[in-house]
Structure 1
Amino acid sequence: MYPLPVERWKTWNRTIYKASLPVALFIWLLPMLAVLVTSIRSSEELVQGDYWTWPKHFALLDNYGTALTQTPMLHYFANSVLITVPSVLGAMLLASMAGFALATYRFRGNIVVLFTFVAGNFVPVQILMIPVRDMALKVGLFNTVWALIIFHVAFQTGFCTLFLRNFIKQLPFELIEAARVEGAGEWTIYARIVLPLIRPALAALGILVFTFVWNDYFWALCLTQGDDAAPITVGVAALKGQWTTAWNLVAAGSVLAALPSVLMFFAMQKQFVAGLTFGASKG
């Protein structure tokens, strides 16, 4: 019923598997490698149509320096920080409280509320484009950072609630009962017992939500116009010119836009793995 470990496969199948892994990895990394190489290629080579060979002249400092100083990349980066950090904190705060209530309280309609959070994750985001944009225009939030923050908090809370509710459900309920017997209030139980116990899950969820919000392009394009509130994903697209495009600058901007997510993942890799395996076994 379960897949056999690779070590127990037949010799021929194991050989094919090990030989195909580097090929699949190279194909998967090829677009990223092309962007990295283009970001250090000089404009003269691009004008000559030299896209796929190894750069003859490295323009690393020129391309990245130009992208940072002669384009609004730092402004876009600041907007992304202003959007992402409150969105992650807001979604996780609301989701942790909702997940705590759904996991520990028994009330009529508990399952219905949980299914509502689950069903919201299956709604195609494209069908929400027009009503969300019209609502932002009517309440005066269009082309503001707050429009993206409120939307991301609302949209990510459903997934985060489902994620955290399942983790809180794995905690020993006797701890919560004992705290109630000792006279602890619900806010005390939530803040001093539940949250410390689910820190690995919160770390894993924080990385996921940070990546979702930071890399969002669709809603940033729908709810912003111009440079005032545009995040870095829209800013990279804005580097493309009307008649000609400096693809080395676009590639450098793309690398700079992807760098925070990559660095955050590697910095919190242990917490991410611990959060995903939290509650997988009981000892």
Structure 2
Amino acid sequence: MFPTPIEKSSRAWQIGYQTLLPLALIAWLLPLIAVMIFSIKPDSDFTTGNYWGVPGSFEMFNNYGKVFFESDMPRYLWNSLLITVPTVIGTVALSCMTGFALGIYRFKGNLLIFFMFIAGNFVPFQILMVPVRDFTLDLGLYDTKRGLILFHIAFQTGFCTLFMRNFIRALPFPLIEAARVEGVAEWRIFWYVVMPLMKPAIAALSVLIFTFIWNDYFWAIVLTQGPDSQPVTAGITSFNSEYRAAYHLMSAGSIVAALPPVAMFFLMQKHFIAGLTLGAVK
């Protein structure tokens, strides 16, 4: 039923696995490697067609210096941070409460409300582009960080509620019954009994939502324009001029923009693993 572990396979299979695994890893990382190489190339390499050859000169400090000190990249990064962090906090907080309500309480219409949260995940964002843009214009939220935060929270809460509700339903229900027998209020049960058990789910969901929002490009160009409110994903295109694209600066900006999600993952990995092992032993 299950595949045989590689340690128990024949020697030929082990050699093939050890040979093909590095090749598959390199193929998977090839786009990132190409962007990293482009980020240290001079502008002259692109005008002469030297896309994949050895760089004519190594311009790493020059290119990254222009990204940080001669462009609006710091402002775009700050905008992304101001958009992503409140979105993660708001989405996780709402999904914890809605997941608790839908996972613990039995009431009429529970499944209908849950299905409504799920149904929103199947609506293509492209269909919502025009009405959402018009809605932001009517509310005065167009081209503002506040509008982008609110709509990100609205769009991500459905998936997060599905995630949290299923996680909470897998928790041992006798713990909640025991707390109710002791006369503990429902909000205290949620805060002191359920929330500590949700640490692994909160850590995993925070990493996912942070990555989704930080890397979002679609709503960034639909709902914002200009360096005052645009996040870094949309701001990278500012390196393009009317008649040519500065690929070396765009590549350097892309590497800079990719660093915060990577740092977020390694920052939360410790808490994620600690939450998984919480309660594993007496």
Q: Tell me the TM-score normalised to structure 1 length.
A: 0.92
Partner of 1:63: 63
Tell me the residue number matched to 1:53: 53
**Corresponding residue for residue 271 of structure 1:** 271
* Structure 1 segments unaligned to the other structure (5+ residues): none
For residue 226 of structure 1, report the CA deviation from its aligned partner: 2.3
Classify the secondary structure of the residue corresponding to 2:122. coil
Q: Tell me what 1:201 maps to.
A: 201
Letter in 2 for 1:30: L
Q: Matches of residues 125-274 of structure 1 in structure 2 within 5 Å? A: 125-272=125-272
Structure 1 contact 204–273 (Cα < 8 Å) conserved: no
Aligned equivalents of 1:72, 1:34: Cα separation in 2: 24
Matched, 1:121 2:124: no
Amino acid at match of 2:245: T
Secondary structure at 2:193 match in 1:
helix
CA 1:106–1:146: 2 relative to 1, 3 Å: same
CA deviations 1:126-181 (Å, max 9, x no partner) are 11111111111111111111111011101111111111112111222122122222
Deviations, residues 183-210 of structure 1 (Å, cap 9, x unaligned): 2211111112211111111011100000
The CA distance in 1 between the partners of 2:32 and 2:26, in whole Å, is: 10
Q: Which moved more, 1:121-130 or 1:9-18?
A: 9-18
What's the CA shift for 1:57?
A: 2.4
Structure 2 counterpart of 1:150, which letter? L
Q: TM-score, normalised by structure 2?
A: 0.92
With 1-10 and 62-71 compared, the bigger mean Cα shift is at: 1-10
Q: Is the 8 A contact 1:204 1:271 kept in 2?
A: no
CA contact (8 A) 1:96 1:164 kept: yes
C-alpha deviation, 1:77, in angstroms: 0.8
Match for 2:25: what amino acid?
A: L
Whole-angstrom CA distance in 2 between matches of 1:181 and 1:224:
52
Root mean square deviation of aligned Cα: 2.1
- Counterparts of 2:95 and 2:268 in 1: how far apart (Å)? 21
What letter is aligned with 2:160?
Answer: C
* Unmatched 5+ stretches in structure 2: none
The offset of 1:273, in angstroms, is 5.2
Measure how far apart 1:76 and its partner are.
0.7
Letter in 1 for 2:120: G
| Residues 118 and 274 of structure 1, relative CA distance in 2, 3 Å threshold | farther
Q: Which amino acid aligns with 1:203?
A: A
1:147–1:278: structure 2 CA closer, same or farther, 3 Å change rule? farther
Post-superposition offset of 1:99:
0.5
Give the structure 2 partner of residue 25 of structure 1: 25
- Quick one: which amino acid aligns to residue 54 of structure 1? V
Report the Cα distance in structure 2 between the residues aligned to 1:10 and 1:167, rounded to whole angstroms. 40
Secondary structure, counterpart of 1:121 in structure 2: helix
Asked whether the 8 Å contact 1:203–1:271 carries over to 2, the reply is yes
- Once residues 60 and 141 of structure 1 are traced to their aligned partners in structure 2, the CA distance between those partners, rounded to angstroms, is 39
